[in-house]
Structure 1
Amino acid sequence: MTSPTTAPTAVPSRSYASGIQRAFACSPHPSSTVPGSTLIKTVESFYVRPRWLFVRVETVGGVVGWGEGTLEGHSEAVQGALADIARRLVGWDAMHIEDIYTYLYRHRFYRGGGVLMSAMSGVDIALWDIKGKLLGVPVWQLLGGAVRERCQVYGWIGGDRPADVLEQAKARKTQGFTKVKMNATESVGWLDSPHALDETVSRLAAVKSVGVDAGLDFHGRLHKPMAKQLAALLEPHRPLFIEEPLLPGQVPELKDLYSKTTIPIALGERLFTRQDVRPYLEAGCIDIIQPDIAHAGGISETRKIAIMAEAYDVGVAPHCPLGPIAFAASLQVGFATPNFVICEMSWGMHYNTGGFDLLTYVTNPDVFAVRDGHVDLLTAPGLGVELNEKLIRAEAAAAAELEPWSNPVFRGPDGSVREW
């Protein structure tokens, strides 16, 4: 008779002891137990270079949350909306995020759109930051806990008029990126010469030769006659995805293009709510949804968009050519979202000029370190990013004397306006 064998000692949870299942301490803020301390005391906004709009919310108990409501080229309009929101919200309980979101969205009669949703986004992100700090946990804990230990990210190459992409792709690889994105074309006519698309194919081939994958942002610059040609030309070169191959709102046209290519189609930076996203999901014409957390209602609405997209087997890749607060908030959603695939990162992006970049206002920049194409789990309470408030206030005062950022204007050889 053989002797009994020893039962296996391996326990599934042990294999994750140093990963997402590891224990995290909770250190609630002292004010969290004081009645009335969580009421909103102030709501402020700061336009800072290169083109970002930060939102600061402080509670009676002294907890500060930071948000970002950047709407590129429309900062003054968003600040006007934020002034109105601030007047309404002082005295409300910062912990009641969903009620505040619902009030701001539904009790205004006119709802949605880039300006109002961006203003709401800045406040919403700040409230999640406050709640995490009050309870002593990172925001992803409040969203159900982490489902991954790191988030995949990509960097930009090529600029507004794509050029010098080979050397820039090599530099990005050295920085730790495994994936990049670049604009597909410069300005293109409604019906242009087919040769206007040749350089796009050459650029993609050059970038892929470095050993990185590349997404191509059509940026809505191409209309149907050119978009379908370019998608066909790119097919053999297998880009990571094509982004905004047609303008927002063209759902049937996008569905037609979707049926003609195997390249993953991504879009969403100009969609601001679940209602905006819904037609694309129902039509089955996208593979990746790209809500911008600074435009799409902040963490609250972005999370809901992601949950809705999962039901359609659509991945989530937050659009984020913006500042450190929006990036941290996007990562927090990514850490807790099963269908998250990748996040945009503006470090070294072509819009970040004048010495202002993703890390300029951050006092703990190591949390955004890129390793093997990923950013590790943020573990500090709230958003996990610490900001230099003194610098933000000083820069906002300086930026107020300057013309705010506005996007370039593209015109064709006949003088007519083209899509940027």
Structure 2
Amino acid sequence: EQYIAEVREIIGMDIPLAIDHVGHISLQNGIRLARRIEKYVPAWLEDVIPWQYTEHYRQLQDATTVPICTGEDIYLKEGFEPLLKSGGLSIIHPDLLTSGGILETKKIGDMAQDHGVAMAIHMAESPIAAMAAAHVATATENFMALEYHSADVDWWDDIVTGVAKPLVKDGFITVPDQPGLGIDDVVDEVIS
């Protein structure tokens, strides 16, 4: 809780603060944690318990005002369906590279929307995956955020050519209007 309080104090209340991977803990401890951090108004609390525990997710969501999120390790639409039907999530968090690709992630987002659940896309991979995620986000009505892990990697944008640089500017990715993902090429050093 101390870390969350310190970050919230620094960034203020206008910037969303998502709480990611505290590690899998028990349902009871997850509820305790969620209730303790309610006052910091987090955007979501992610992966507190294993995603396979559908009933526990419903109990966790029912016990707190904090939006509950999971999904970066779930494969295919069918994997998300029990959680969505249970009412155990406020936000799903698929990763295109593990959820089944561009079309499958779009279908997952649409299914979540049918259940009144938002979608934040997990993305800790290459600029190619980032562009794929940006295209899915653009085509999905319930999209809310794209996780981005490479802000401090100087060479990350240089892996590909043909897209606006920096790839992420002022918190946004410009989705190109060229065919495919809009990437011209992958830099030769990456291939070798």
Q: Could you say whether these structures have the same fold, taking a TM-score greater than 0.5 normalized by the shorter chain as the test?
A: yes
Between Structure 1 and Structure 2, how many residues are aligned? 191
Give the SS at the match of 1:275. helix
**Residue 265, structure 1, aligned to residue 63, structure 2:** no
* Residue 211 of structure 1, CA deviation: 4.8
**In structure 2, how many angstroms separate the alpha carbons of the residues matched to 1:294 and 1:219?**
23
Counterpart of 1:359 (choices 157, 165, 177) is 157
**In structure 1, how many angstroms separate the alpha carbons of the residues matched to 2:4 and 2:121?**
25
* Residue 222 of structure 1, CA deviation: 2.8
Give the SS at the match of 2:97. coil
- Match of residue 304 from structure 1: 107
* Residue 258 of structure 1, CA deviation: 0.6
* Residue 366 of structure 1, CA deviation: 1.7
Say if 1:360 and 1:238 are closer, same or farther in 2 by CA, change over 3 A.
Answer: same
Counterpart of 1:292 (choices 62, 71, 95) is 95
**Residue 233, structure 1, aligned to residue 30, structure 2:** no
* Residue 219 of structure 1, CA deviation: 4.8
Give the SS at the match of 1:342. strand
Counterpart of 2:83 (choices 256, 280, 294) is 280
Q: How do 1:401-416 residues align onto structure 2 when only pairs under 5 Å count?
A: none
**In structure 1, how many angstroms separate the alpha carbons of the residues matched to 2:17 and 2:10?**
7
Q: How do 1:19-418 residues align onto structure 2 when only pairs under 5 Å count?
A: 198-209=1-12, 211-348=14-151, 357-363=155-161, 364-366=163-165, 368-371=167-170, 373-394=171-192
Could you tell me which runs of 5 or more consecutive residues in structure 2 were left unpaired when the two chains were aligned.
none
Give the SS at the match of 1:347. coil
Say if 1:232 and 1:391 are closer, same or farther in 2 by CA, change over 3 A.
Answer: same
Q: 1:136-191 CA deviation, whole Å, 9 max, x = no partner?
A: xxxxxxxxxxxxxxxxxxxxxxxxxxxxxxxxxxxxxxxxxxxxxxxxxxxxxxxx
**In structure 2, how many angstroms separate the alpha carbons of the residues matched to 1:247 and 1:203?**
27
Aligned-residue identity in percent: 26
Residue type of the alignment partner of 2:178: A
**In structure 2, how many angstroms separate the alpha carbons of the residues matched to 1:361 and 1:217?**
27
Residue type of the alignment partner of 1:271: I
* Residue 339 of structure 1, CA deviation: 1.2
Give the SS at the match of 1:295. helix
Give the SS at the match of 2:55. helix
Residue type of the alignment partner of 2:107: K
Say if 1:262 and 1:211 are closer, same or farther in 2 by CA, change over 3 A.
Answer: closer
Give the SS at the match of 1:309. helix
**In structure 2, how many angstroms separate the alpha carbons of the residues matched to 1:300 and 1:215?**
26
Residue type of the alignment partner of 2:167: F
* Residue 382 of structure 1, CA deviation: 0.9
Does structure 1 conserve the Cα–Cα contact (< 8 Å) formed by 2:106 and 2:139?
A: no
Does structure 2 conserve the Cα–Cα contact (< 8 Å) formed by 1:367 and 1:385?
A: no
**In structure 2, how many angstroms separate the alpha carbons of the residues matched to 1:220 and 1:226?**
11
Give the SS at the match of 1:222. coil
**In structure 2, how many angstroms separate the alpha carbons of the residues matched to 1:200 and 1:273?**
34
Give the SS at the match of 2:50. coil
Higher relative contact order (CA closer than 8 Å, sequence separation 6+) = 1
**In structure 1, how many angstroms separate the alpha carbons of the residues matched to 2:185 and 2:34?**
42
Say if 1:298 and 1:207 are closer, same or farther in 2 by CA, change over 3 A.
Answer: farther
Q: 1:312-366 CA deviation, whole Å, 9 max, x = no partner?
A: 01111111011111110010011111111111112225xx5xx6x5313122452
TM-score, L = length of structure 1: 0.43
* Residue 374 of structure 1, CA deviation: 2.2
**In structure 1, how many angstroms separate the alpha carbons of the residues matched to 2:126 and 2:22?**
20
* Residue 311 of structure 1, CA deviation: 0.7
Say if 1:359 and 1:210 are closer, same or farther in 2 by CA, change over 3 A.
Answer: farther
**In structure 2, how many angstroms separate the alpha carbons of the residues matched to 1:369 and 1:204?**
22
Report which of the two has the higher share of helix. Answer: 2
Give the SS at the match of 1:218. coil
**In structure 2, how many angstroms separate the alpha carbons of the residues matched to 1:219 and 1:296?**
22
Give the SS at the match of 1:327. helix
